Amino acid sequence: MSRLILAATASTSENFADFGVPWWVWLALLGFITVLLVADLLLVHRRAHEISFKEAAIESAVWISIGLSFALVILAWQGGPAAGEYLAGYLIEKSLSIDNVFVWAVIFTFFGVPAMYQFRVLFWGIFGALVLRAIFIFGGVAIIERFEWVLYIFGAFLLYTAWKIAHHDEAEVHPESNVALRLVRRVVPSTNELDGQKLFTRANGRRLATPLFAVLVMIETTDVVFAVDSVPAVLAVSREQFIVFSSNAFAILGLRALYFLLAGMSDRFRYLNVGLGVILGFVGIKMLVSGFYHLPTWASLAVIAVVLTVSVVASLRAEANDATNVEANDEA
């Protein structure tokens, strides 16, 4: 029986895009991402300011356009199956990251970070997230290639995570009990005073961490938790490291703008957690049966898109119905 399972899982790699990536292509990808980050920091957001809903909407549209357009690069370079895997990975990472956005809102509220300084913290948070995701992705792919039975552990973990996400009403985070934060405050000399959007400042000849550095630590540690969920989920639709990393990277790059667009709207998406749970459950099952049956990438894309659409539309309709009932009660 064990030989049958190993033979089945060994054949799963044939169902996914597999191609060699020259070093200069990796360098070009990293260079492009770096240019986007630097341009966003030094040109678009050089001056600290409170980002309006309109500005966030425009920037979100730009980042999403860039992310989706990269699928055309994959399509022209490696064909339809590879582009489909990229789009599936992008949608999974983007949808699961929405929960991350709401957690950021809780963290910023807890620490009382002024809106005009939040972007700079998120910039470094996104930078750190890219590095962490790269480590998770390359490590995960390497583990799967050597021990394909790990797929069953990943699949079971995703099912457990799906149940947890679907059954909690709001993002749960407790900054005051975060071990990493307490350790940093004990080791790194800190001050309770802000110095603009700086992470470190000088006072009485000493270099001290500002409260924004503590916020950054919280954001990075919570991202590790989300990466543990999202990276295995993306590995269910692709095993090619270039596709998995690029889909994660472009989905993450637009999270700052998405945060300023959605941060105050968590109550309006009441069924989003259920939708995210369904998506994670779907990819978990897909991973568990991958050794025996491979669901086409287009089918995965369709399921993810339909679940997201239904959860968002249902949430907005419920919100509209509540508003109508409140108005009716007020008139009565």
Q: Where are the alpha helices (DSSP H) in the chain?
A: 2-10, 23-39, 53-78, 80-111, 115-146, 150-166, 179-187, 211-235, 241-253, 255-262, 272-288, 297-331
Q: Roughly how many angstroms between the first and final C-alpha of the chain, as a whole number? A: 69
For residue 209, list its beta bridge partners. Answer: 190, 200
Q: Which of 261, 235, 263 is nearest to 247 (CA)?
A: 235
Q: What does the radius of gyration of the chain's CA atoms come to, in whole angstroms?
A: 21
CB distance 268 to 319 below 8 Å: yes
Q: pLDDT tens, 54-101?
A: 888 899 999 999 999 999 999 999 998 999 999 999 998 888 877 778
Those residues with Cβ within 8 angstroms of residue 18's Cβ, 6 or more apart along the chain or in another chain: 239, 240
Q: Please say whether the beta carbons of 126 and 194 come within 8 A.
A: no
Cβ neighbors of 147 (< 8 A, separation 6 or more) are: none
Q: What percent of the chain has pLDDT over 90?
A: 16
Residue 32 neighbours by CB under 8 Å, 6+ apart:
none
Instruction: Write down the pTM of the prediction.
Output: 0.79
Helix (H) or strand (E) holding 264: none
Q: What is the Cα–Cα distance from 193 to 176, expressed in whole angstroms?
A: 18
Query: So what's the pLDDT on residue 141?
Result: 78
pLDDT in tens, 243-260: 999 999 999 988 888 888
pLDDT-based confidence at 178, cuts 50/70/90?
low
What are the structure tokens assigned to 19, written together? 């191609």
Could you report the per-residue pLDDT of 115-132, keeping only the tens digit for each? 888 888 888 888 888 888
Secondary structure string (H, E, C) spanning 66-109: HHHHHHHHHHHHHCHHHHHHHHHHHHHHHHHHHHHHHHHHHHHH
